Amino acid sequence: MEQNFKDDKYLDDFKPIEVFVNGKLDDAIHRFRALVTKEKVMSYLKLHYAYEKPSEKKRRKQRESAQRQRKALMMENIKEQQY
């Protein structure tokens, strides 16, 4: 069953991911999974898979912002401790 998404333009942001097999297929699969994780492909697709209510979107953005601020503060504290 083919799903018809309202807005598939987010798919244009992705470039093809290629992994060349130089021996074991398991190694190539491991490298592919690492690339997909690094590029955050699955999390991006999950965000666009279903409708997100505006209130949920607002909460998610606030949560992400708080995480970025905590991480920046932590990195700043680590730099201060090094000097």
pLDDT of 40: 81
Report which of 8, 6, 65 is spatially closest to residue 57, judged by C-alpha positions: 65
Indicate the domain borders of the chain: 1-51, 53-83
Rounded to an integer, what distance in angstroms lies between the CA atom of residue 60 and that of residue 52? Answer: 10
What six digits make up the tokens of 79?
A: 């730099």
Decide: 66 and 28 in contact? Cβ < 8 Å.
no
Question: What is the block-wise mean pLDDT of the chain (83 residues), using blocks of 10 residues?
Answer: 57 74 89 87 80 92 96 92 79
Question: pTM to 2 decimals?
Answer: 0.48
